[in-house]
Structure 1
Amino acid sequence: MAKRQNEFHSIQDLMKDVIKENKLTKGMQRISVNDAWAKLMGNGIVSYTQSVEMNGKTLVVRLKSSVLREELSYGKEKIVKMMNEELGETLISKIILS
């Protein structure tokens, strides 16, 4: 019978270990980026968003509206900064709006 360890670990630490052991980090980051985009941009912009993808350290956002794409292009640096703050780490260094 296996011996039980009496060490206590937080669920957050255990989840991080499971994610690391199963090599799920990129998938979890992809989910986090999508959630952060939806939270920061709001329903109006999200309704015109086709996809949000990470390509290395580049965030690629496909939009349905050329007018919205032009408008967002003026604030790329601010969007990158806000996304990294929301994610809690520097995952994004560049954004491409297409």
Structure 2
Amino acid sequence: MAKRHNEHISIQDALKEFVETNKLEKGLNKVNVADAWANLMGNGVNNYTASVNLERDTLYVQLTSSVLREELSYGKKKIINMLNEELGKEIIKKLVIR
């Protein structure tokens, strides 16, 4: 059963506590990573992106263009750093482009 607090807390703190007590962080990370990919990569890459999946600390991105896949594979470390910076924490440690 949920704890009752007599003192007033902010909505941000209440939502953070709710996410932590219900163990929803992994699911939220998956959604946030997909949104960050779409924002950072833009329409050019998103048109060729078939799926974006986060499993543990590895991001799997499936692309429909082999040329784009080759180009992005050269900058994997930079993409990981940009995504982690966008998310505000280090969630992704490895990037697999398929």
Unaligned runs of 5+ residues in structure 1 are none
The answer for the alignment partner of 2:33 in structure 1 is 33
Structure 2 length as normaliser, TM-score?
Answer: 0.91
Counterpart CA distance in 2 for 1:14 and 1:53 is 28
Query: C-alpha offsets along residues 53-76 of structure 1, whole Å, 9 cap, x if unaligned?
Result: 112111100001101000101110
Residue 66 (structure 2) pairs with residue 85 (structure 1): no
Call closer, same or farther: CA 1:22–1:87 in 2, change over 3 Å: same
Counterpart CA distance in 2 for 1:46 and 1:32 is 15
Question: Secondary structure of 1:95's match?
Answer: strand
The answer for the alignment partner of 1:69 in structure 2 is 69
Letter in 1 for 2:21: E
When the two chains are superposed, the root-mean-square deviation of aligned CA atoms in Å is: 1.4
Counterpart CA distance in 2 for 1:8 and 1:50 is 45
Call closer, same or farther: CA 1:95–1:4 in 2, change over 3 Å: closer
Question: Secondary structure of 2:54's match?
Answer: strand
- Following superposition, the deviation at residue 4 of structure 1 comes to 7.8
Counterpart CA distance in 2 for 1:33 and 1:4 is 32
Query: C-alpha offsets along residues 39-96 of structure 1, whole Å, 9 cap, x if unaligned?
Result: 1000111111111111211110000110100010111000000000001001011100
Call closer, same or farther: CA 1:16–1:64 in 2, change over 3 Å: same
Percent identity, aligned pairs only?
Answer: 54
The answer for the alignment partner of 2:56 in structure 1 is 56
Question: Secondary structure of 1:61's match?
Answer: strand
What is the count of residue pairs matched by the alignment?
95
Question: Secondary structure of 1:85's match?
Answer: helix
Structure 1 length as normaliser, TM-score?
Answer: 0.91
Moved over 3 A (4+): none
Q: Which one has the largest radius of gyration?
A: 1
Unaligned runs of 5+ residues in structure 2 are none
